[in-house]
């Protein structure tokens, strides 16, 4: 079976988004460009971790290579995902790299292969590459190349998408359901 590499270098649009109501949302990364639209599914925690690791990568690229640290200059992209949202694959691994020559960030979302999510950051050190886990070349992948400003916009939207779910319980932090919540901090009892 041949693998497919969906490369957008650069995409017209690259966003995290959801389909469904809070508590039943499916999370997606979606890239659009050149008349193509690719959507890949992933977990909420993967979106949150991707945003966190991208922030760390921008900061490290600034310290090590003098890359610009962008602010939020472009208008926020709050539009829904482009339709149709057809899942190409479920993401298992996310890879990040900073390309010093072009001052761009490369994000790869690699199809799941019985493996847990791992976010690896590569800043060009060979030592980092030696510690990276082996990833099979015969897996589908989505690859995008973004400017630091586009990465900043992606991070901001990803954080909004993750936070837009069910509100957390103020005592235990677990999501509150509209039907009620048995908080472990109350040993299963409802508060009066």
pTM: 0.79
Q: What percent of the chain has pLDDT over 70?
A: 83
What pLDDT shows up at residue 88?
97
Please tell me the distance from the alpha carbon of residue 117 to that of residue 48, in angstroms, as a whole number. Answer: 12
Domains and CATH numbers, the chain: 5-167 (3.30.2450)
Mean pLDDT confidence for 81-87: 96
Query: What is the pLDDT, as a whole number, of residue 69?
Result: 80
């Amino acid at each position: 079976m041949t693998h497919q590499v969906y490369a957008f270098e650069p995409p017209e649009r690259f966003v995290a988004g959801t389909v469904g109501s809070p508590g039943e949302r499916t999370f997606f990364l979606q890239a659009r460009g050149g008349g193509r639209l690719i959507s890949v599914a992933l977990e909420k925690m993967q979106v949150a971790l991707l945003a966190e690791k991208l922030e760390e990568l921008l900061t490290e690229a600034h310290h090590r290579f003098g890359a610009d640290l962008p602010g939020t200059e472009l208008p926020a992209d709050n539009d829904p995902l482009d339709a149709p949202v057809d899942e190409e694959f479920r993401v298992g691994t996310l890879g990040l790299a900073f390309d010093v020559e072009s001052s761009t960030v490369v994000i790869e979302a690699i199809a799941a292969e019985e493996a847990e999510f791992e976010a690896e950051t590569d800043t060009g050190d060979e030592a980092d590459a030696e510690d990276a886990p082996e990833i099979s070349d015969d897996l589908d992948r989505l690859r995008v190349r973004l400017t630091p400003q586009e990465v900043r916009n992606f991070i901001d939207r990803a954080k909004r998408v993750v936070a837009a779910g069910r509100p957390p319980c103020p005592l235990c932090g677990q999501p509150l359901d509209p039907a009620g919540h048995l908080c472990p901090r109350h040993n299963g009892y409802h508060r009066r």
